[in-house]
Structure formats: C-alpha cells, structure tokens
C-alpha cells in the first residue's frame, strides 16, 4: 500500500481504468462480479445486444430501462472514490480516466479527461437523423422516439451494446501509453478489448497497480496488486500519500 501510494505521489500523469466497483458505493449494482447482475441471468447479454435492438426495439427499451434502472439514475451521485480522482487532478496531476461505467459519475465529479469506453446512459440518439436526446426525453415514454419533423424513429441508447464496435479503444490505448503510471480500480478485467489496455503499460514497463475486491485473470500484469474493498483501500492510500 505504501509503495503504491508513493508511486501515485511521484507520477505527474496517471491513466486510471475503472469498472463497476468504483460506482457500487454510489448504490449502482455491480454487473460482472461473482454476484453481479449479469450472473443472475445470462440472457441479459442477448437482450442488450445490437441484434436484439434491431429485431425488437420496443421490447429492447422495456428491458433496457429495467436492467439499467434508468428511473433511478438521477438519484446517483459521485462517491469518495470519484472525488479522490478529482482531488488528484486539482493537485496538478494529469488524470486520464478510461471507464467501463456508463453512469456518467466521473464527469459529474468534475474530472476533465474522461473516456467513456462503453458510452453513457444519459443520452440516446436517433439512428435515422442523428439527433441526440437527453435522459429527460428518454424517460418521457416507455419507448422513446425522435421528435424531429418527418422522422419519428425509435432512439438507440448511447451505450455500446453487445455486438457494437468499440470506438474509443485507440484513444484509451494512447492514454495508457502516455501516462507515467497505470492505476486500475474496481474491474474484473473480463471484458475484451478493455482488458488488453493494461498490457500496454506492462509492455512499456511502467509502474501499474490493480485494486479490486476479487482476483482477476490479469493480476500478473501488475506490479502492485491489492485485493480488498476499493472504498477502504482509497482511504488507506490517502493516509499513506
């Protein structure tokens, strides 16, 4: 813990990869841990796919809003883990956050450089005309439609569905390669190609740390590995720093 805190203190630029474990303290369910929501019902992956959206967009939206608890999204707020990253930025460090989370809480916490690897729940876009709509419009009807004159198409949420291309990978890779230190927090590193990002730090032989409640398939790619509750670990790091 002390060695990792020293690395954080000494780094001028830090790339931070985050997953669901960062947002659980805000009340948002963990999706991919051993007890996560995807483990409850594997069919959710099919329903949250590009294929299913095009097959049955109306039922897709019913299931999407239920699975992601959209009506509760406005009740979530950044927690002390999000604020810790913002505090480092305020101290003059260059912080680049690459997040798997789609809740928008890193941006809400005030971080300036956030790469939302899997998109964001707060907006949806019309596939026909490209008009983007905020969450308030998405929640006005069970199946949100475009209201532009002559359009009326069913909106598609601005998250990466199963089967969608990842458009942010090159930007995320560059953030990792340009940083002095890689810090990975609250992710199981099961999802590809996101789990390839730590390899770029390992290949470059730069310091890297992993903080996650459970072990991951990528543990051996890190110099520092801490298996513990993320919230408590961040508090300990702040004491050591």
Residue 204: predicted pLDDT: 67
Contacts of 82 (CB under 8 A, 6+ apart): 22, 26, 105, 106, 108, 109, 111
3-state secondary structure string, 188-221?
CCCCCCHHHHHHHHHHCCCCEEEEECCCCCCHHH
Answer yes or no: do 111 and 50 share one domain: no
Are 137 and 43 contained in the same domain? yes
Calculate what percentage of the chain has a pLDDT beyond 70.
Answer: 93
Q: Would you put residue 152 in left (φ > 0), alpha (ψ -120 to 50) or beta?
A: left
35-43 CB contacts, 8 Å cutoff, 24+ apart: 37/67
Q: What is the pLDDT of residue 165?
A: 94
pLDDT at 24 over 60: yes
Structure tokens at 26: 């805000």
What would the pLDDT profile of 109-141 be if each residue is shown by its tens digit? 999 999 999 999 999 999 999 999 999 999 999
pLDDT at 31 over 60: no
Q: How many domains does the chain have?
A: 2
Predicted TM-score of the model (pTM): 0.91
In the predicted model, is pLDDT for residue 14 greater than 60? Answer: yes
Sign of CA dihedral 121, 67, 160, 143: negative
pLDDT at residue 39 tops 50: no
Do residue 67 and residue 170 come from a single domain?
no
* 82 and 197 both lie in a single domain: yes
Among 54, 80, 106, 118, which one carries the catalytic annotation? 118
- Decide if 118 is catalytic: yes
Does residue 21 share a domain with residue 46?
no
- Asked if residue 143 and residue 182 are part of one domain, the reply reads no
pLDDT of residue 41: 57
How large is the average pLDDT for residues 35-40? 47
Average pLDDT over residues 87-105: 95
Shared domain for 38 and 128, answered yes or no, is yes
Same domain (yes/no): 66, 172 = no
Tell me which of 159, 188, 218 is where a domain ends. Answer: 159
CATH number at residue 195: 3.40.50.1220
Query: Phi/psi of residue 13, each to 5°?
Result: -130, 135
Which SS3 state, helix, strand or coil, does residue 162 take? strand
CB-based burial, 100-119: b 16+ in 10 Å, e otherwise: bbbbbbbbbbebeebbbbbb
* Domain CATH for 56: 3.30.1600.10
Q: Are residues 149 and 84 in the same domain?
A: no
Domain enclosing residue 46, as ranges: 29-75+122-159
Whether 224 and 208 have beta carbons less than 8 Å apart is answered as yes
Rounded distance between C-alpha atoms, residue 118 and residue 115, angstroms: 9
Q: Please, are residues 229 and 205 in contact by the beta-carbon 8 Å criterion?
A: no
Taking 50 as the threshold, does the pLDDT of residue 236 lie above it? yes
Cα-based distances in Å from 144 to 86, 139, 182: 34, 7, 39
- Specify whether the CB–CB gap between 144 and 137 falls below 8 A: yes
Residues making up the binding site = 126, 129, 146, 151
* Whether residue 235 is found in the same domain as residue 202: yes
Band (72; pLDDT cuts 50, 70, 90): low
Q: Do 192 and 240 reside in the same domain of the chain? A: yes
> For residue range 170-214, what is the model confidence (pLDDT) as tens digits?
999 999 999 999 999 999 999 999 999 999 887 768 899 999 999
Are residues 224 and 171 part of one domain?
yes
Last residue of a domain, one of 159, 182, 215: 159
Q: Which residues are annotated as a binding site for Zn(2+)?
A: 126, 129, 146, 151
């Amino acid at each position: 813990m002390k060695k990792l805190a020293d690395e954080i203190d000494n780094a001028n630029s830090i790339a931070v990869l985050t997953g669901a474990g960062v947002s659980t303290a805000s009340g948002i369910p963990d999706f991919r841990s051993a007890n996560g929501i995807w483990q409850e019902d594997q069919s959710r992956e099919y329903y949250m796919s590009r294929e299913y959206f095009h097959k049955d967009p109306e039922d897709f939206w019913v299931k999407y809003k239920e699975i992601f608890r959209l009506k509760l999204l406005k009740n979530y707020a950044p927690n002390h883990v999000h604020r810790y990253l913002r505090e480092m930025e305020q101290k003059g460090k260059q912080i680049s956050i690459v997040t798997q989370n789609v809740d928008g809480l890193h941006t809400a916490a005030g971080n300036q450089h956030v790469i939302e690897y899997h998109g964001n729940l707060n907006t949806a876009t019309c596939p026909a005309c490209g008009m983007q709509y905020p969450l308030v419009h998405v929640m006005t009807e069970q199946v949100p439609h475009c209201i532009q004159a002559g359009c009326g198409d069913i909106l598609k949420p601005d998250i990466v569905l199963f089967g969608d291309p990842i458009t942010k990978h090159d930007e995320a890779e560059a953030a990792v390669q340009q940083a002095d230190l890689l810090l990975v927090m609250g992710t199981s590193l099961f999802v590809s190609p996101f789990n390839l990002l730590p390899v770029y730090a390992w290949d470059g032989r730069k310091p890297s740390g992993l903080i996650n409640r459970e072990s991951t398939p990528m543990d051996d790619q890190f110099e520092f590995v801490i298996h513990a509750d993320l919230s408590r670990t961040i508090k300990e790091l702040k004491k050591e720093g």
